[in-house]
Structure 1
Amino acid sequence: MNPNADRPDDESAPTPAYEEVRAPVLVVGAGAAGARTAIELQERGVEPLVVGKRDHGDAHTTWAAGGINAALGSLDPEDDWAIHAADTLNEGHFVNDPEAVELVAKTMPDRIRELDEWGANFDRTEDGKINQRYFGAQSFRRTVFRGDETGRAVLDALVSRAQELEVPYRENVMVTTLLSDGSRVYGAAGFDMEDGRFLLFVADHVVLAAGGFSAVYDRHSSRDDENTGDGPALAYDAGASLLDVEFVKFHPTGMVQLDRYDEDWSGELVTEAVRGEGGRLYNGEGERFMERYSPDQMELDARDVVARAIAQEIREGRGTEAGGVHLDISHRDGSFIRERLPKMYERFQSLGVDMAEDPVVVAPTAHYTMGGVAIDATTGETGVDRLYAVGETAAGVHGANRLGGNSLAETVAIAPYVGRHVAERIAAGETDDELDADARRAAEREYRRLDRLERAEGDVRPRELVAELRETMWEHAGILRDADRLGDGIDRVRELRDRMDDLRVEGDRTGRDFEFAVDLPFMLTAAEATLVAARYRTESRGAHFRDDHPETKAEWRVNVLVERDGSDANVRTRSVAEPSDPVREALAAGYELDYHHLE
């Protein structure tokens, strides 16, 4: 599935010069998961090196606006970790890893207090407690927030703590391959995106925290150069397994392009906090249509339910002229909206829409990938020795559908366990003095490949193939799927892979053309794995909905794994463990949100 896996290397060509960088631990990705892992390592006496594709503090974490979950009980004292875990399993349609779920639910109250101490400054109730709001499919007010810029608050607190600890960091670096023999990792190869220098990272351990792959879709809530599948594809090509990649979250409320603002806004997220604070959905005929789909939970039902409802309204001709539906919170007082949703209010105000007076137009957008690298949740281990994954790069916590507010929770809950485990392995003497000779040769092959790519003079620009891939995924592996569309999608992705031979890259290694050319193999790997797994799972569950198999089937309460078999993908299933007794009791109690508290 790697477009470049079987292409010959011209060993007679000179190897470009490269800089060698050594670190006991290389952390790839500088969002919340990478930052929290690095903090844990540094606090335990191991100095990691963190590398990120963008400026320090500029990571996709900042786009997680609505909140972060923890069973604090600030407003609903009856909430506890077991109910949080039960809600997560319910939302994940019981294919989550129960151990991972329970670890997150138990750990999060302490992680929230830690973040607050580090400067997150979460919103408070009148009596000084950390405030919490309703979020979709949760039984109680569990979502901690700072207005509607919670992700920014969390990342700023983590970056501040990392800087206080003097964690080493290199910004504007892209890792293009891991140095692996299929059973063990020795480091990574990449380049400096500012000056074009090739970089050889010699590391005893590598942690992948590079995000997911939602940007393989045409409408997506990420920036174009984020969530392009780097983390999962790097791990897969190194020998790790991908898990649950058929489960892609389509957030119900992405922005729809209107005459008053351009296509750059298409798909940008309108945070769930708008609905959490009482926002209502209306179709083009003025009907509050969620009354038909979910009369009890309404707009705060699970994201997959709301997204499919919106897609159905649009498909059946009840959408707006712009191809969306209306999200309206104008029944709330203007001062309330400005206080609780300042970022959203300011964004739309700048585009000529006053949310206190008028609705905004929204439609589903690819937002998050529940699947990723299969890991041990308590260690981050991937099955490839000394390679770990954490955050959206990894799988297990979310199952078939992510509970809103759990993405940030996952990053800061599991990362400390990964950092601790790696530190313990290093303390036990799992380090090397010299780089394996085969690993160095692999790095030098990579530099020759990148050098050829930079000079490619074919007929197809990288962005053209990226655009075609995104259209293919939206059409063939979107909200509503069937075997024929998925099969055609696989064929089209493989055709795009073949067309990589005809790329034309303009500019040098510091340009956007080259960046997208490097992203393409990652995106193709993630896209093909998603299509293959989605075709394999012949049922509907959570975010995976098959028109030709609309029922959820008990025999499919399994995880689907995609593994490299030469240049092909092997697909198999594994069984799902059972939750602990306290979580089973919480599930049996049947806790559920009473939406009408918001009415």
Structure 2
Amino acid sequence: MTYHRPAGETYGGIAPTEERGRGTDRRDDDRRRGDRRSGDGPLDYETVSVPVLVIGAGAAGARTAIELAERGVESLVVGKRDHGDAHTTWAAGGINGSLGSLDPDDDWTIHAADTLKEGHFLNDPVAVETVTKAMPDRLRELDEWGTNFDKTDEGRINQRYFGAQSFRRTAFVGDRTGEAILDALVAKARSLDVPYRENVMVTDLLSDGQRVYGAVAVDLTDGRFVLFAADSVVVAAGGFSALYGRHSSRDDENTADGPALAYEAGADLMDLEFVQFHPTGMVGNRYGEEWSGRLVTEAVRGEGGRLYNADGERFMERYSPDQMELDARDVVARAIAREVREGRGTENGGVYLDISHRDADYVRERLPKMVERFASLGVDITEEAVEIAPTAHYTMGGVDIDWTTGETRVEGLYAVGESAAGVHGANRLGGNSLAETVAMAPVVGRHVAERDPEAPDLGDADPADADFPSGMVAYAERAMGALADLEAADGDTRPAELIADLRKLMDDHAGIIRDGDSLREGLADLRLLRDRTAEVRVVGDRTGEDFELALDLAFMLTLAEGLLRGALVREESRGAHFRTDYPEKSPAWRRNILFRRGDTGMDHFTREVAAPSPEVQKALDAGYELDYHHLE
């Protein structure tokens, strides 16, 4: 597991190999065979030169590529799954925007105020305002492109309550909102002839720490290596919630690819300690292992669903009598965890979510996918409760970017969507994840277009003929050689076993409730787990599951270390980060913790959070707040 750049080594300092890849100078489909040998044969790789490489094919990546296309800039979107098969589809409940369809008093400043309060004022105010100002127009745009949001009787985009929101501002398509949005974005991208390559996994970014030049990837269909040369690279590859055993995404999603790639290239990471455990993930033997942790959308509670413990008590009355089940996600998740810890949970470690008191036809209309999913498992949610428990759902932290441009500290390297940090602070407001992707992507696309990117010239046999640095070609070939060595790894431990052990480690030491001793123990265990990767065994070739899991593991280890370190450094409880040894919020810790790749490992530093604008401060001072009993 040594394919990442060794500590202290700069890409620019790599001497060009005497025998570099050779081939013709074709722009978009140039295949080269390098003479450098690794294992029992020469490296065989394809080269692709493109102005902008977009890594990740969910809503953030698709919307960025659309913006670029509309501005006349060529991009290539690469995804490690089939086209249209992205984590966006699992964001079911809705997307925020202050349209005021049902509550005319709502506006972007109140949306911003709710976002800051939910984030416990650790959010980047520029990020928050960028998203909340843009969202009304973005919602109308998505509707025009075919998302087809549910409408009111008057024909306006309908909106529902989501947790901790002062007004009904969450637009929705039943309970399949993310799927509908991604379908619309994919269709729009296709109408603009945006090129896309599926089943391609990026393993390394080519960077000298100051500028990005492209990426190394593996085509998971045929195992061929790919060298992408690009003037700009946009990372839109999701977050890292799959570090945990129970998580709401599929096992091969949110495995830290995006943040780890950017970090290795020289970008800073921020707010890694803040992981949102969604209160309502599926749990229980009745549903089967396949469904463990899968999200029961917040829309169930937004439409009036109630939480009960095993004793039949509606326990949120103890924790949040005013906002009840629609309090902030961190509040509800900790309440459930406490009920279970104190012996009032189910035998599967959960509680019950019940919407059977609502009219059955209403439930079927508003929550069709939930009705269908549970019906397939023998449960009628219009008649009975479902068993749930908190599940790792979203990572507020990620790559530190300039929120006026989306660019990292590495020139030409951008991040957008869940890969980026800043909007959510210490806890995400429900409905803001999809909002972040489509609000920030146009900003990124606009700034990239203003750079007027061109496809790098890879030259021919002579490196002097190219404007692509020969050192990058040399590094790319070294990275490919390391990947070939990984494919041949014949140790004693399969990658899946190591990932399972990592997830248990994170569950045990960095879950909903933490303390310093446990976090230190987790870091010690992580070092031991890293040592075990030297004995990894990869069965099959580069198209097989073992090889991909070994790559996932490397990304996951990087973010696991940052998460544990951040949680240990932050000696307070704030938002989704709760420590029993520091149970109170500390004004001194209204600071972000950032990580930068140092010569000997992960270096951290802190940064003070800026104040919100006068407009948003006015909304904060007004004290808007949801009164749950509006739903009763």
Band the TM-score falls in, shorter-chain normalisation:
over 0.9
Shift of 1:556: 0.3
Q: Decide which of 483, 490, 502 is 1:469's aligned counterpart.
A: 502
- Aligned partners of 1:199, 1:484: CA distance in 2, in Å? 44
Determine helix, strand or coil for the equivalent of 1:367: strand
**Residue 301 (str. 1) matches residue 327 (str. 2):** yes
2:586 corresponds to which of 530, 543, 553: 553
Q: CA–CA distance in 1 between the matches of 2:2 and 2:359?
A: 53
CA distance in 2, matches of 1:35, 1:86: 28
**Partner Cα separation in structure 2 for residue 522 and residue 430 of structure 1:** 28
Secondary structure at the aligned position of 1:344 is classed as helix
- The whole-number CA distance in structure 1 between the counterparts of 2:52 and 2:348 is 49
Matches within 5 A, 1:177-256: 177-256=204-283
Q: Distance in 2 between matches of 1:35 and 1:77?
A: 31
Tell me the amino acid that sits aligned with residue 480 of structure 1: I
**Per-residue deviation, 1:264:** 1.2
User: SS of 2:427's equivalent?
Assistant: coil
| 1:576 partner amino acid | V
Match of 2:318 among 292, 299, 318: 292
1:332 maps to which residue?
A: 358
Aligned counterpart in structure 2 of residue 351 of structure 1, from 369, 373, 377: 377
**In structure 1, what is the Cα distance between the partners aligned to 2:149 and 2:139?**
9
Q: Partners in 2 of 1:430 and 1:468 — Cα distance?
A: 42
Question: What CA distance in whole angstroms lies between the structure 2 residues aligned with 1:186 and 1:330?
Answer: 55
1:2/1:567 contact within 8 Å kept = no
Partner of 2:576, secondary structure, is: coil
Alignment check: 8 A CA contact 2:37 2:43 kept: no
One-letter amino acid of the counterpart of residue 385, structure 2? P
Match of 1:57 in 2: 84
TM superposition shift of 1:568: 1.2
Q: Hey, what does 1:173 align to over in structure 2?
A: 200
User: Partners in 1 of 2:609 and 2:344 — Cα distance?
Assistant: 40
Residue deviations 1:268-317 (CA, integer Å, cap 9, x gap): 00000000000000000000000000000000000000000000000010
- The code of the aligned residue for 2:414 comes to Y
Whole-angstrom CA distance in 1 between matches of 2:287 and 2:245 = 18
Q: Which residue identity does 2:519 align to in structure 1? A: L
Matched, 1:490 2:523: yes
Amino acid at match of 2:6: D
For 1:109-508, list aligned pairs within 5 A: 109-258=136-285, 260-426=286-452, 434-508=467-541
Q: Give the AA of the match of 1:486.
A: L
Any idea what SS the aligned residue of 1:305 has? helix
Displacement of 1:4: 4.3
Partners of 1:327 and 1:362 within 8 A in 2: yes
| 1:565 shift after superposition | 1.0
Contact 1:3 1:524 in 2 (8 A): no
Aligned to 1:18: 45
Task: Tell me the residue number matched to 2:607.
Answer: 574
1:282 aligned partner, one-letter code: Y
How much has 1:492 moved relative to structure 2? 1.2
What amino acid sits opposite 2:516 in the alignment?
A: A
Partner-residue secondary structure (3-state), 1:426:
coil
- 1:566: Cα distance to partner? 2.0
1:246 Cα offset (Å): 0.5
Give the Cα–Cα distance (whole angstroms) in 2 for the partners of residues 182 and 5 of structure 1.
11
Change (3 A) 1:369 1:2: farther
Measured in 2, the distance between the counterparts of 1:27 and 1:16 equals 25
**Aligned amino acid, residue 551 of structure 1:** E
Partner of 2:573: 540
8 A contact 2:120–2:427 mirrored in 1: yes
Summarize deviations over 1:446-487 as a string: whole Å, max 9, x none: 111111111111000000000000000011000000001111
Question: In 2, Cα distance between the equivalents of 1:338 and 1:415?
Answer: 34
- Residue type of the partner of 2:219? D
Once residues 254 and 142 of structure 1 are traced to their aligned partners in structure 2, the CA distance between those partners, rounded to angstroms, is: 23
- Paired residues of 1:2 and 1:237 also in contact (CA < 8 A): no
Instruction: Decide whether the 8 Å contact of 1:255 with 1:265 is kept in 2.
Output: yes
Measure the CA separation in 2 of the matches of 1:194 and 1:177: 18
Q: Secondary structure at the match of 1:254?
A: strand
Q: 1:187 to 1:15 in 2, by over 3 A?
A: farther
Three-state SS of the structure 1 residue aligned to 2:564 is: helix
Deviation of the 1:430 alpha carbon: 9.7
Separation of aligned partners in 2, 1:207 and 1:554: 35
Q: Cα–Cα, structure 1 residues 2 and 486, in superposed 2: closer, same or farther, change >3 Å?
A: farther
Aligned residues: 597
How many angstroms apart in 1 are the aligned matches of 2:306 and 2:6? 52
Identity of aligned residues (%): 70
Which stretch has the larger CA shift, 10-19 or 289-298?
A: 10-19
Structure 2 residues without counterparts, runs of 5 or longer: 18-35, 458-465
Aligned to 2:20: none
TM-score (normalizing by structure 1): 0.98
Query: Where does residue 563 of structure 1 map in the other structure?
Result: 596
Q: CA deviation at 1:497?
A: 1.3
Kindly indicate whether the alpha-carbon contact (under 8 Å) linking 2:206 and 2:265 is maintained by their aligned counterparts in 1. Answer: yes
C-alpha distance in structure 2 between counterparts of 1:571 and 1:534, whole Å: 12
Contact 2:398 2:419 in 1 (8 A): yes
Question: Partner of 1:28 in structure 2?
Answer: 55
Deviation at 1:431, TM superposition (A): 6.0
Query: For 2:234, what is the secondary structure of its paired residue?
Result: strand
Please point out which of 587, 590, 593 is paired with 2:620.
587
Go from structure 1 to structure 2 and tell me whether the alpha carbon gap of 1:509 and 1:2 turns closer, same or farther (over 3 Å shift). Answer: closer
Q: What is the CA-CA distance between 1:15 and the residue it aligns to?
A: 4.6
State the distance in 2 between where 1:566 and 1:5 align: 11
Structure 2 letter corresponding to 1:503: V
1:567 Cα deviation from its structure 2 partner: 3.8
8 A contact 1:148–1:342 mirrored in 2:
yes
2: distance between equivalents of 1:431 and 1:53?
Answer: 24
Between stretches 434-443 and 325-334, larger displacement belongs to 434-443
- 1:86-113 deviation digits (Å, cap 9, x = unpaired): 0000000001000110111110000000
* Alignment partner of 1:67 is 2:100: no
Question: Does the aligned pair in 1 maintain the 2:456–2:467 contact within 8 Å?
Answer: no
Structure 2 residue 113 is the aligned partner of structure 1 residue 86:
yes
Instruction: Return the alpha-carbon distance in structure 2 between the equivalents of residues 342 and 404 of structure 1.
Output: 20
Distance 1:180 1:495 in 2: 29
Q: Give the Cα separation in 2 of the matches to 1:5 and 1:203.
A: 20
How far apart in 2 are the matches of 1:430 and 1:465?
A: 39
- Tell me the distance in 1 between the aligned counterparts of 2:157 and 2:164: 21
CA distance in 2, matches of 1:5, 1:484: 31
Indicate the SS of the match to 1:566.
coil
Coordinate RMSD, CA, aligned: 1.6
